[in-house]
Amino acid sequence: MNFQQLRIIRETARRGFNLTAVGNALFTSQSGVSKHIKDLEDEIGVELFVRRGKRLLGLTEPGREVLTMVERMLIDAANIKRLAEQYASTDAGQLTVVTTHTQARYSLPPVVTAFKRQYPKVHLKLHQGSPAEAVQLLLDGEADIGVATEAVASVPELVTFPYFSWRHAVIVPAGHPLATVKPLTLADVAEYPIITYHEGFTGRARVDEAFAAEGLSPEVVMSALDADVIKAYVGLGLGIGILAAMAFDAGRDRDIVLLEESAHLFRENTTRIAVRRGQYLRGFAYRFIELCSPELTEEHVAASLTADLGAGI
């Protein structure tokens, strides 16, 4: 038994039992993947996969149990490496944080600035992607910390902590008729073409839920991944915008207006910090989390990462 065999077992389950995809992910051939699986099955004396000819269709019952152990072993192997790095150098190394554009652009800059002042030798890798990408990078061990509003809280392999709460708001071009409507209602907003986030990004589901609850079907004429694009096209007069209120800057966004009256129209969202359950974090990673939220001390986070460990694997 070797670590390459363990990685192949894990990757085979993750890649939908497509051995070509497994080989590409692990930089080996399909035949090599098949041989590693067969060698491991011969060594332990049980079949791990359900087969139809040469195709793998799923995991057998012992295969599911082995996969649980494999996940734990690979996490621990990565933890050993991180532990060694921690003792070799406490203030140098790499920290990978995966997040969405909105968080990277609007909520994390003060945290990143403070972190880099304290740890100038740490290479901070800020990876921007969708919430689903954040989950996958955390599960694959390619990211240390995730920051997102969607997806992360529903994954049992991840431990999440509240970072901050926020609301959506409506923005309009300067001089737009909605700027004088008080009190503002969702029905008023739905009278105009809307530009907002893509589905699955930055609380878009909460926006859709709010209109649906009122029996409204607004015309979303354009969707974007980030607030800067939304603001740009609202400024061009292509519609009104719905975005995270934190993305509006009155000093910089001079051609658009945020409607303060819109704050009550949408439910509150919570952005969360996520870490792979059971993962060993270096000291500077704990410090990054604490800079996000002072209540999230190293003691509190570490205890949460090891609590009920078996339930998340």
Domains of the chain: 3-74 (1.10.10.10), 89-162+271-312 (3.40.190.10), 168-267 (3.40.190.10)
Task: State mean pLDDT over 99-117.
Answer: 95
Alpha helices in 119-220 (DSSP H): 131-139, 186-189, 204-213
Report the chain's mean pLDDT, rounded to a whole number. 90
Task: State mean pLDDT over 290-313.
Answer: 80
DSSP string over 33-58: HHHHHHHHHHHHTS--EEEETTEEEE
Task: State mean pLDDT over 273-284.
Answer: 90
| Distance from C-alpha of 129 to C-alpha of 239, rounded to nearest angstrom | 26
- Tell whether the model's pLDDT for residue 313 goes beyond 70: no
Residues in the chain, overall count: 313
Confidence (pLDDT) at 310: 46
Confidence (pLDDT) at 88: 57
Task: State mean pLDDT over 2-23.
Answer: 88
Chain position carrying tokens 């041989």? 35
Residue 302, sorted as left (phi over 0), alpha (psi -120 to 50) or beta, turns out to be alpha
Contacts of 128 (CB under 8 A, 6+ apart): 98, 99, 100, 101, 104
pTM (predicted TM-score): 0.73
Confidence (pLDDT) at 296: 96
Of 125-129, 202-206, 309-313, the least confident? 309-313
Q: How far, rounded to the nearest angstrom, does the alpha carbon of residue 206 sit from its chain's CA centroid? A: 17
- The two tokens of residue 171 are 């923005």
